[in-house]
Structure 1
Amino acid sequence: MQLIDIGVNLTNASFAQHLPEIIERAEAAGVCQMMVTGTSVQGSEHALELCQQHDETGLRLFSTAGIHPHCASDWNADTAQRLRALLKEERVRAVGECGLDFNRDFSPRPQQEKVLEEHLALAVDLQMPVFLHERDASQRLLEILADFRDRLPAAVVHCFTGEQRALFGYLDLDLHIGITGWICDERRGTHLHPLVRNIPQGRLLLESDAPYLLPRTLRPKPKNGRNEPAFLPEVLREVALHRGESPEQLAAHTTACARAFFNLPEIA
């Protein structure tokens, strides 16, 4: 059984001293490929370097390149040029993480919207998929995406945590949906249990978002409380339970979906 983790923050400082073991544990757990998330220009450059340094085969580690909405205020005249150069690298397979975060508002909303549009224009120009972030901003994200969607090859709303209205809006725009360990959280994720049944095969993707969002259903829990891609099978188990599928069935179609979305090579 193969799994693809479409969003893991391997550049996070908490992973720095343990990357070989973390990658080894992920592979032992069946996570055969991982997308390392870029959230700033420097972070995206680091993500690419990490892939090159820790995967000599060129088959298992890939990355994204983009500016997280929290960092939208950092956008300057050189940013688009540096991102474009990154996006032409073989290991970089998607534009992002980009989007809107009206929950924390670390960057002004008009600036977030401008930077999102810059990312979408890059994705259209380069014909690459988009890795999207959204918190408390689904309606505005839908409005902005509507102007670009016909020209975009694909886009995924990663770490979906929203309500039915947002989900159906995204599906109506033919977007992919990423599900994380949020669904395993009995305090705030139970509303996702009935919703995941509505995501069609070919639109559903799985991700750890490690080191964040440790699945609360995981037993035993790691003493350090840190999530890692080796725990993605717990997200698989929970999503399969609420979709009425076997873990093997869910793994097969989400892995095929991720491979097609990011144009990843087959793993024997």
Structure 2
Amino acid sequence: MANAFPDDVLPEALRFRSPSPLVDIGANLTHQSFAHDLDAVLARARAANVAALILTGTDLEHARQAAALSDRHPGLYATAGVHPHDASGWNPTLAEHMAALYAHPNVVAVGECGLDFNRNFSTPAEQEQAFEAQLTLAAQHGLPLFIHERDAGQRMREMLESWRDDINQAVIHCFTADKDTLYGYLDLDLHIGLTAWLCDERRGHHLRPLVGDIPLERLMVETDCPYLLPRNLPARLKGRRHEPALLPWIVREIAHWRGMDEAALAAATTRSAAAFFRLPDSAVRATCQETTA
């Protein structure tokens, strides 16, 4: 099938189309940079065969916006949580508002939540308190966790270990840590989300030999757009804003470092994402099954 991109925003060299439908598990489409052209962004994603997107809710406002977008656009779903940077604002009223969002049919995970001891915009104690509260909400509502972790792997594993029997599933989104941290997460039966960090010659080298160690059924893919634009794209992108249409390039890079077929990797990550987020029985899952039949 030929690419049918709706405009000329993406140069021809960046008009990728995945051989199998993809799920972008982390897209920050409530970011202001998408306010003026969201419909075109979604059209380009469809042209690239990115069939479903999980919109990241990092605070109450953005979680509500993500849920509202999911109501208006088929194939969009949302998470709802408080990022560790904003953990200092956690309180019982905020917890009640979040709990209300988890009743929304398109809110499919608690998060983005977790620990970030790299910047400490909120203190470690505040982060742990907010994360513990969101672990409680995930257990109460039977939802998976969408987790952020930077320089906090040991403490993250300690907290998750005490909750592992109560939490349905959890994914470490945008994994960037080392081998020991990866193996610790896999020992806890967590999923791993990979981004274009792998495509960064400055800091992604250590991830490349690790991608083959992630069991295929635990691997998912994401852009984390508008952040983390791949640095090794074959053409320059005007404006330097990352978007879901570029997810096939990330999948191609992961497939290369795993030494496997791109279509097989795409289909596997979509199966994992559909099961993890309990996406409806849709064309995404059906097509994915047909691809690997």
- Report the equivalent of 1:23: 42
Instruction: Name the CA distance, whole Å, in 2 between partners of 1:211 and 1:117.
Output: 28
RMSD after superposition: 0.8
- Report the equivalent of 2:6: none
- Report the equivalent of 1:141: 156
Number of residue pairs aligned between Structure 1 and Structure 2: 264
Q: Is 2:280 aligned against 1:250? A: no
Report 1:27-38 matches (<5 A).
27-38=46-57
CA drift at 1:72: 0.3
Q: Residue type of the partner of 1:19?
A: L
Over residues 201-231 of structure 1, what are the superposed CA-to-partner deviations in whole Å (9 max), with x where a residue is unaligned? 1100000000000011112121100100000
SS in 2 for 1:224: coil
Instruction: Name the CA distance, whole Å, in 2 between partners of 1:253 and 1:220.
Output: 28
Instruction: Name the CA distance, whole Å, in 2 between partners of 1:204 and 1:257.
Output: 7
- Report the equivalent of 1:165: 180
SS in 2 for 1:88: coil
Q: Residue type of the partner of 2:222?
A: E
Instruction: Name the CA distance, whole Å, in 2 between partners of 1:22 and 1:220.
Output: 18
Report 1:56-135 matches (<5 A).
57=74, 60-135=75-150
Q: Is 2:183 aligned against 1:178? A: no
SS in 1 for 2:88: helix
Aligned residue among 174, 187, 191 for 2:206: 191
Over residues 223-260 of structure 1, what are the superposed CA-to-partner deviations in whole Å (9 max), with x where a residue is unaligned? 10010000001110100000011110100100000000
SS in 2 for 1:239: helix
Q: Is 2:229 aligned against 1:210? A: no
Runs of 4+ off more than 2 Å: none
The answer as to whether partners of 1:176 and 1:203 remain within 8 angstroms in 2 is yes
Gaps of 5+ in 1: none
SS in 2 for 1:191: helix
- Report the equivalent of 2:70: 51
Q: Residue type of the partner of 1:242?
A: W
CA drift at 1:77: 2.1
- Taking structure 2 as the reference length, the TM-score comes to 0.89
- Report the equivalent of 1:6: 25
Instruction: Name the CA distance, whole Å, in 2 between partners of 1:64 and 1:85.
Output: 13
Larger gyration radius, structure 1 or structure 2: 2
Instruction: Name the CA distance, whole Å, in 2 between partners of 1:215 and 1:193.
Output: 14
Instruction: Name the CA distance, whole Å, in 2 between partners of 1:17 and 1:179.
Output: 28
- Taking structure 1 as the reference length, the TM-score comes to 0.97
Instruction: Name the CA distance, whole Å, in 2 between partners of 1:99 and 1:32.
Output: 27
Instruction: Name the CA distance, whole Å, in 2 between partners of 1:236 and 1:198.
Output: 16
- Report the equivalent of 2:9: none
- Report the equivalent of 2:290: none
Q: What is the percent sequence identity of the aligned residues?
A: 51
Over residues 109-161 of structure 1, what are the superposed CA-to-partner deviations in whole Å (9 max), with x where a residue is unaligned? 10100100101111111111000000000000000001111111100000000
